[in-house]
Structure 1
Amino acid sequence: MASCIFCEILSGWSAASIIYRDDTCTALLTIEPVNEGHALVIPNAHHVNIFDLPPSTAGHMFKVAQQIAKSYGNTDIRCDGVNIVMCNGAAASQTVFHAHIHVNPRHVGDGFSWNLPPGFDDPANRDELNRVAAKLALVLGAAS
């Protein structure tokens, strides 16, 4: 495996501002915060992304992300809302290939923008939605 900054942090080779740790995951403040308190929840074992992350680990990581989100209200960190995001794969803007969840406190006027493409908020065609839903439902084993 090539060098992984999160594995280096977990092994103590690199510094981090850790806010939570248990047997499954660790949460730390990112060195590239969107806002004060922007945290990352990472599994203690190396997993590249959601596609190879055990479901029990993923579930636990999201539970910890929720706890972090709730904790902002008990601090003086400005927080009118929270983005919880996981980028999986280079096409989805993943740049560190060790699974991680961003927990980003947001506040009105913070200047953050998603840069969504024109037309993203136009209602989708229902027939097209149903066609795609049928494909996914078939694979997932759900009733369509």
Structure 2
Amino acid sequence: MVTTFNRYFATWNKNIKFIQEIKLVSASERQTRFQLSITDPEKKINTDWASYPEDTSQAWLATVLKEFPFIDEDKTNYPIVDLTYTKRMRTVLCSTLLLKNGIEYKRYAPMRETVALVKNEREFNGAIFLNDGKILKDKGLNQIAAILER
């Protein structure tokens, strides 16, 4: 039996939204494809089914940027935000900040709270304290590549 489920994403500036469809073909085989829509100019792009990469945030980001390299051209697209939490009736109490250098930081807080924190700190030039004692502030906040539900 083949099972599919979707994950929903948008760029920070909300110009690009996309759906990742994941198909579980067997216990050891997964495939994925993306459906992307751009608001200005209005455009839709669908990819073919491909083997799903290892289940890491870095592999996910590399796959997205390989399929859609134009996302990286506009720096206001970052961070890419996982919106899957808005489609559920429950809240996952863990979110991840993935930096452009591939390092990921877990936040033991709901996605909604993490997105609000990043928005406020970027808007008011604040700082985000990470779980290893580092601080993201000023230009460091621009190093966030994605906010993911993990």
TM-score, normalisation: structure 2:
0.28
The structure that is strand-richer by fraction is: 2
